[in-house]
A and B are shown apart, each in its own frame.
Chain A
Amino acid sequence: MSKAYWRSLDELTQTLEFREKVAQEFPFLAEALQDPRTRREFLKLAGASLGLLGLASCRWPKETILPFAGRPEGRVPGVPQYFATAMSLFGNALGLVVTSYDGRPIKVEGNPLHPESLGATHLWAQASVLELYDPDRSRAVVERQAGQRVVSTWENFRRFFGSCLARLQTQGGRGLFILADATPSPTRERLRQRLAERFPEALWVDWDPLLNVQEREGLAQATGVRAVAKPKVENAAVIVSLGADFLLRHPSAVVNARGFAAKRREGKNRLYVAEAVPTVTGAAADYRLAVPPERLVAMLLALAHELVARGVTLTVPLPPPPPLAAEEKDFVRRCARDLHAAGGESLLLVAESLPPAVHALAFSLHRALGAQGRTVFYFPAPPATGHWQQLQHAMENREVELLVVLGGNPVVTAPHLPWASLPSETAVVRLGLFEDETSRLSRWHVPQAHFLEAWGDLQACTGEYSVVQPLIAPLYEGKTAEELLALSLGDERQGYDLVRDTFSVFSQGRFDEELWRQTLHDGILPGHSLSPLVLKEQDSSWLRDLAFPPAGEGLTACLLYDLKVLDGRFANNPWLQELPEPLTKLTWGNAALISPKTAGRLGVRHGEVVRIATAGGEILLPCFTLPGTAEGVVGLVAGYGRKAAGRVGDSVGVDVLPIFAGRWTAAARVTPTGKRGDLVSTQDQQAIDRVGLEALGHRVGELIREVCAAAVVQGLQIGEKPEVRRPAMPWKERPFTGEYQWGMVVDLACCIGCGACVVACQAENNIPVVGKKQVQKGRQMHWIRVDRYFGGKPEDPKFAFQPMLCQHCENAPCEQVCPVAATVHSEEGLNEMVYNRCVGTRYCSNNCPYKVRRFNFFNYFKDVAPTRKMQFNPEVTIRGRGVMEKCTFCIQRIERAKITAHNERRALRDGEVVPACAQVCPTQAIVFGNLNDSQSEVAKLSQDPRAYGVLTELNTRPRVLYLAKITNHEETS
């Protein structure tokens, strides 16, 4: 098979001739090609193009597909290698260490050396490896001529791009607009500056809806310096968050969560959250108040007044205090008292959706409390670029001649820009991973190289420089944004050379090969970071803007970006689509979040489709009654309703962005339609009836135990009695003779419910994605799930999360009932599942009190796309149809560590075996190890007074223990 033939397959797949050909050869596939809607069809399709396998292999560097005459140094077949790289999200860098098997990256971990990771990652980093292998990724340069899609070549594009730029250069770059995703890449910045020199009148706009622009804007207004705030949550004793989801949707969320958990574990912080719609931060709060977004401004102002009244000296004149409702007043008073007492150990975080003036006031308060330099640091922000409104203006006035879109998907994420009215003479050049909505409006689409397959660099907001190194040759000849930028400057070098040039700048102007290698190895350039700025108010005129008028009549619609697919960029990622959203536990779609009371007032039932009308338009969306949502607020989750995301993400959910018209809130009218929507959640699939709710209320306290922070500070004395955890056995106890006795402790005080463990487990253990219909039937396959419980009143609920996985019971109910002994206990205390002995009676699942076993109702690996197969972990068996599976405590990692230790003739050290869930956990809530070793962390934690087992009264003797949640309430302390 010649390479040329297969290269044109992409072109062919879309053409009529190809369809005819397929129809002749494989009639059953022709349909799937026409309508690749269902998963089965999609898999068939992927299977049909078996050529992809050839395609994939063609992409490999020629050298590596030749058999080795001799083994290259350091390469042992079957032994994974680890490479440091970095990922960009929320405008920040996250250092990663990627596991590579025989040249295939299969698993992403955090880089312990990287200050934004500390060894953990967020769930998006976990899912990024699947994005790399997405069979829907664009594979060819595509040109659209008069609406006709034509597969073109890189050469053609280069010719076009060159002539276009040459023309623009003559007019100083007027008419050239660049819309870039905000990737903090020094190389990109360097090229941007060169571009600005060559095209002085060109406009560069950074657009990323997840960026904290308001905060930068606010700091700039207040201090005159462009800066970003970097919280140090581990130093904060009192944290007040006004709508800011700093534990999950924040540039530094991973380390924020780490810091929060570290302090929480000692019982030494208190978190106040006022927000409109529950977030994981709100769920972690000790005091939470549900208020409409416009009230947050008033509350911050009142808080400032309250602090001033307590003697905090604020250097800016405050507008008069606004009137507050009783519970708001109470909340503010508590906050003020605690903040005042904490002084420099206080942290105040404000939602991105609030105007810059609010961020400016937050800065002033930080400074007044002495928090600057203790709980919050300021670092120089990337240089200012154009504002999207300038681009909008130019688009409206037909001034755009060439628009280069680097990454992102602005047609979806910025629907307020007049895309539809772009004149045909405007050339849009688009670099993207997928041929998505933006590509459809573009003249040229150029496939983008994924960060795992291309050279690049990233700089964390604190200044640490990381090189993004490829783990694999580009699968589809994609280019990076930097390469495209260099091309526009007439520089046709590869990303590798571009990055090395930048590296020279960072290493004192000359290229230091030794340092380069060191940087690649460590993942960060050693000893390079920025020193924090010390900022002062320069101006107080921003105080005039300190207002946030209510959205208008009716309900306030609040825009939220999804916690899984974010702004839709991960919509084609099946792991994330199937990951239950932390609070609603929704998968495969979005909903309108309404409080039960408001729903009652509107006459809307849970799951019913509602019509939401704003000035920007109207949408139909199923309603989810979420306790803890503010009254009069409807939270709309963005990131769904994609039309050209790919086979996974197309038409999942509803796109809510158009009705917001570029704003964060909108006045909305919500009317019921009487139709049932298709909400698919992994918990409470049906709205739970009264009977169930009562039982739930009784049980939560027992399943999720709580202690108060004050008691933790004083030192808890009495833990769970041994006879409670291990009731007497009426027969002879089974001795466990293994050298290692594995156990796990999950600290509920730390778990924020983000779900990174779920994705990490899925990536590590080849867990299949089953699709929307199967999740609806309750057949999700996650080996670890995070149970979410509500407590208290629906208006003011308490939230609790409990990661639930196989408890590896010493006296396992599943083992006793299996008729064929397919699930047995190891001498090391692992409950082992023997897949090839399993006949699939499912009796084990029925008898499992934790219901953590998962059954392969179908063959979920029947037609896996060849590229997708590259992600599979070769150390974990693919489970066939009709077989039960469950958490193994990552036995492959245990065995690998044991083999290493054995070869080195030593015993395993504590911390050497880390299951995927524990490794990824940003809060280090999961600790795994050898219970036999009394010095191991897990053994110590299992003796912690907070430790308890779940359902131990059944005498299951679980090897997973939980540490009681810590709440810091005044009433309880």
Chain B
Amino acid sequence: MSQPAIWDNSHDQPGHRAPLVLGDDSFGAITQRVATIVEKPKPPRWWTVTFSISLAFTVVLLAMLAYLFTVGVGVWGLNVPVAWGFDITNFVFWVGIGHAGTLISAILFLFRQKWRTSINRFAEGMTIFAVICAGIFPAIHTGRPWFDYWLFPYPNQMQMWPNFRSPLMWDVFAVSTYFTVSLMFWYVGMLPDLATLRDRAQTKLRQLVYGILALGWRGSARHWHRYERVYLLLAALATPLVLSVHSVVSFDFAVSQLPGWHATIFPPYFVAGAIFSGFAMVLTLLIPIRKAFHLEELVTTRHLDNMAKILLATGLMVGYAYGIEFFTAWYSGNHFEAFTFYNRALGPYSWAYWIMVFCNVVVPQMFWFKKARTTPWILLVGSLFVNVGMWFERFVIVVTSLSRDFLPGNWGIYKPTWVELLTLAGSFGLFLTLFLLFLRFLPMVAMAEVKSVVPQAGLERGPHRGHGQYWGEIPHQHEEILGGEGREQR
């Protein structure tokens, strides 16, 4: 039984549905494939190397934070007028990254996009870690971070509430809610798989840890029933959060009255941007990891193709937003507004603006071509560009608007310092450290869910599968198993 290493399932033939996962794996083989990654006594060499580097950068992050806390925010390049720089840029960037996970797992789940099952665990993990990275920045950007807890409404001797009119306050709620729900969603979705790992565990320690984490999952029908309910409810809960969190983040800007920030288009624009950057980050991580762990049959070309299409679509949305911002600025007749955009494109930070436009609008245009969508390395390069571009988008919004606002007498220039650059690098270090730990110790593909979408899953239902339950052909074997019946189905 010979089969190609990767079966291209990215075709769209009328009357023929491509399978969502490939390979002729039985259910057990899928478990084997995913669980062994976690169970190998020694991680692969590349993992050790990247983990060491990431860990080193995490240490750099900690060192930068220690320096920041002992000396003051002045170690960054901020000033008046540009009182926010890398700090808030990084915050919005990481929150944006944190969008893809919940979008993939919750929204696509509700829309019955079954292809999501191969990548949702992975994307959700990325979300959690990105939100952790994001959460660092608002916490450390304050002048007196030891008083950050004042941002939370709690009964206190000062008899002070926080100011509920402030979008920063809303941020606190939006991000913490999003993080909590995402974490729950991720964890609940992982329960059956954790139980699998527990059952397969060879050592006492693993048994213990996975046993505790699995919360006594036994796989009974009642468990499954409750599980499915909870999962559905959490998906329903998480879905509005996907839209709300970045909308609220965008309020930080939109609610202010600074030209370049004060725009009603910001919430949808930010959400689109977040999905754009989130999917780019999923691709950036997924493509090498899929290769490294030989998961091409679970995370198929079709997955890549789909994600590239989303990149293209959201890329067009942000491109549209860039355009419409100029239109609004011109159409409003407000010369401060008009200047801000003129200045973005042609002023001292125009280099950043054009990097942004190139990465976010020009580069994704290649995804009109199937070749670009289905060739992993092209997609990887494209997604890296989008990551860079989306970081610059936030930089452009935060910095250019602040550097030249109403009174020319207070215009200023912001230059980041080495501390800010290393803090940004360190946040990537933390992100990758957490992510690599996740790859090593938790099932990176939702085994239980994937099993439900492999073609074999539909076999027992025989020819009477409903239209919506069709998961594609079973490659290579379907002729033998289904005989003539299979054809009729098509």
A and B associate in one complex: yes
Show the binding face of A for B, using Cβ within 8 Å: 683-686, 688-689, 691-692, 695-696, 698-700, 703, 774, 777-779, 785, 787-789, 802, 804, 813, 816-821, 837-843, 845-847, 849-859, 880-884, 950-951, 954
In chain B, residues 65-84, which have Cβ atoms closer than 8 Å to a Cβ of chain A?
Answer: 71-74, 77-84
CB pair A819 B72 closer than 8 Å: no
CB pair B406 A849 closer than 8 Å: yes
CB pair B256 A846 closer than 8 Å: yes
**Top 6 A-B pairs, shortest CB-CB distance:** A840-B143, A882-B143, A787-B409, A857-B74, A778-B79, A842-B83
| A838-B407 contact in complex given A774-B74, A813-B257, C-beta closer than 8 Å | no
CB pair B257 A847 closer than 8 Å: yes
| A819-B151 contact in complex given A839-B142, A840-B144, C-beta closer than 8 Å | yes
CB pair A846 B83 closer than 8 Å: yes
| A841-B342 contact in complex given A696-B408, A777-B77, A819-B168, C-beta closer than 8 Å | no
**Of listed B257, B335, B347, residue having the most chain A CB within 10 A:** B257
CB pair A841 B168 closer than 8 Å: yes
Least CB distance from A859 to B in Å reads 6
| A858-B72 contact in complex given A839-B151, A841-B142, A846-B258, C-beta closer than 8 Å | yes
Measured between beta carbons, the chain B residues less than 8 angstroms from A696 are 408
A683-B409, A882-B143 are known; give 16 further A-B pairs, CB within 8 A: A691-B346, A696-B408, A778-B412, A788-B409, A819-B172, A821-B162, A837-B158, A839-B147, A840-B143, A843-B168, A846-B402, A849-B405, A855-B143, A857-B73, A858-B72, A882-B144
Measured between beta carbons, the chain B residues less than 8 angstroms from A802 are 409
- Produce 1/0 per residue, B328-372, CB < 8 A to A: 000000010001001100111000000000000000000000000
List 22 A-B residue pairs with CB atoms under 8 Å apart, sorted by A's residue number.
Answer: A689-B347, A695-B335, A699-B406, A699-B407, A700-B408, A778-B82, A779-B79, A787-B409, A819-B166, A837-B150, A839-B145, A839-B148, A839-B150, A841-B168, A846-B402, A855-B73, A857-B73, A857-B74, A880-B144, A881-B144, A951-B406, A951-B407
Least CB distance from A438 to B in Å reads 37
Least CB distance from A153 to B in Å reads 44
**Of listed B167, B169, B258, B412, residue having the most chain A CB within 10 A:** B412
Give the nearest-CB partner of B338 in chain A. Answer: A695
Which of B158, B255, B256, B407 is within 8 Å of A787, CB to CB? B407
Provide the main secondary structure of the chain B interface: loop
CB pair B144 A779 closer than 8 Å: no
- Produce 1/0 per residue, B125-153, CB < 8 A to A: 00000000000000001111101101100
**Of listed A841, A881, A954, residue having the most chain B CB within 10 A:** A841
CA separation between A817 and B168, bound complex, in Å? 7
Which of A817, A841, A851 is within 8 Å of B407, CB to CB? A851
In chain B, residues 391-426, which have Cβ atoms closer than 8 Å to a Cβ of chain A?
Answer: 402, 404-415
Give the nearest-CB partner of B343 in chain A. Answer: A691
Instruction: Say whether B293 faces chain A, with CB atoms less than 8 Å apart.
Output: no
Instruction: Say whether B165 faces chain A, with CB atoms less than 8 Å apart.
Output: yes
Measured between beta carbons, the chain B residues less than 8 angstroms from A838 are 143-144
CA separation between A820 and B161, bound complex, in Å? 7
Give the nearest-CB partner of B335 in chain A. Answer: A698
Measured between beta carbons, the chain A residues less than 8 angstroms from B77 are 777
- Produce 1/0 per residue, B158-188, CB < 8 A to A: 1011110111110010000000000000000
Measured between beta carbons, the chain B residues less than 8 angstroms from A686 are 348, 413
CA separation between A774 and B415, bound complex, in Å? 13
Provide the main secondary structure of the chain A interface: loop
Least CB distance from B347 to A in Å reads 5
- B interface, size bucket: 35 or more
In chain B, residues 252-279, which have Cβ atoms closer than 8 Å to a Cβ of chain A?
Answer: 252, 255-258
Measured between beta carbons, the chain B residues less than 8 angstroms from A859 are 72
CB pair B167 A817 closer than 8 Å: yes
CB pair A881 B143 closer than 8 Å: yes
CB pair B71 A858 closer than 8 Å: yes
Measured between beta carbons, the chain B residues less than 8 angstroms from A788 are 409
Measured between beta carbons, the chain B residues less than 8 angstroms from A883 are 143-144
Measured between beta carbons, the chain A residues less than 8 angstroms from B168 are 817, 819, 841, 843
CB pair A813 B256 closer than 8 Å: yes
Measured between beta carbons, the chain A residues less than 8 angstroms from B78 are 842, 855, 857
Give the nearest-CB partner of A823 in chain B. Answer: B163
CA separation between A564 and B275, bound complex, in Å? 55
CB pair A692 B409 closer than 8 Å: no
| A884-B163 contact in complex given A683-B409, A691-B343, A819-B172, C-beta closer than 8 Å | no
Give the nearest-CB partner of A849 in chain B. Answer: B406
Measured between beta carbons, the chain A residues less than 8 angstroms from B411 are 683-684, 688, 692
CA separation between A941 and B406, bound complex, in Å? 25
CB pair A818 B151 closer than 8 Å: no
CA separation between A855 and B142, bound complex, in Å? 11
| A778-B81 contact in complex given A698-B335, A841-B141, C-beta closer than 8 Å | yes
Least CB distance from A697 to B in Å reads 9
CA separation between A696 and B405, bound complex, in Å? 11
CB pair B160 A851 closer than 8 Å: no
Give the nearest-CB partner of B81 in chain A. Answer: A851
Give the nearest-CB partner of A703 in chain B. Answer: B407
Measured between beta carbons, the chain A residues less than 8 angstroms from B407 are 699, 703, 787, 804, 849-851, 950-951
CA separation between A68 and B73, bound complex, in Å? 46
CA separation between A951 and B409, bound complex, in Å? 14
Measured between beta carbons, the chain B residues less than 8 angstroms from A789 are 408-409
Measured between beta carbons, the chain B residues less than 8 angstroms from A818 are 163, 166
Least CB distance from B374 to A in Å reads 43
Measured between beta carbons, the chain A residues less than 8 angstroms from B410 are 683, 785, 787, 804, 850-852
Which of B80, B339, B409, B414 is within 8 Å of A695, CB to CB? B339
CB pair B144 A817 closer than 8 Å: no
CB pair A685 B72 closer than 8 Å: no
Give the nearest-CB partner of B408 in chain A. Answer: A696
CA separation between A816 and B73, bound complex, in Å? 23
CB pair A821 B256 closer than 8 Å: no
Measured between beta carbons, the chain B residues less than 8 angstroms from A778 are 79-82, 412-414
CB pair B172 A779 closer than 8 Å: no
Measured between beta carbons, the chain A residues less than 8 angstroms from B158 are 837
CB pair B347 A692 closer than 8 Å: yes
| A842-B408 contact in complex given A691-B346, A847-B257, A847-B258, C-beta closer than 8 Å | no
Measured between beta carbons, the chain A residues less than 8 angstroms from B348 are 686, 689, 692
Give the nearest-CB partner of A956 in chain B. Answer: B257
CA separation between A818 and B160, bound complex, in Å? 13
Measured between beta carbons, the chain A residues less than 8 angstroms from B414 are 778
Which of A777, A816, A821, A880 is within 8 Å of B79, CB to CB? A777
Least CB distance from B483 to A in Å reads 68
**Of listed B74, B142, B414, residue having the most chain A CB within 10 A:** B74
Measured between beta carbons, the chain A residues less than 8 angstroms from B145 are 839, 882
Which of A695, A849, A882, A951 is within 8 Å of B72, CB to CB? A882
CA separation between A858 and B80, bound complex, in Å? 14
CB pair A954 B347 closer than 8 Å: no
| A845-B148 contact in complex given A881-B72, A882-B143, C-beta closer than 8 Å | no
CA separation between A842 and B168, bound complex, in Å? 11
Give the nearest-CB partner of B87 in chain A. Answer: A842
CB pair B347 A691 closer than 8 Å: yes
Measured between beta carbons, the chain B residues less than 8 angstroms from A951 are 406-407
Least CB distance from A791 to B in Å reads 12
CA separation between A688 and B77, bound complex, in Å? 20
Which of A692, A698, A787 is within 8 Å of B404, CB to CB? A692
Measured between beta carbons, the chain A residues less than 8 angstroms from B257 are 813, 847, 849, 954
CA separation between A778 and B252, bound complex, in Å? 23
Give the nearest-CB partner of B347 in chain A. Answer: A691
CA separation between A853 and B168, bound complex, in Å? 18
Give the nearest-CB partner of A770 in chain B. Answer: B74
CA separation between A703 and B410, bound complex, in Å? 13
CA separation between A802 and B143, bound complex, in Å? 30
Least CB distance from A788 to B in Å reads 7
CB pair A820 B144 closer than 8 Å: no
Give the nearest-CB partner of A884 in chain B. Answer: B143
Least CB distance from A292 to B in Å reads 30
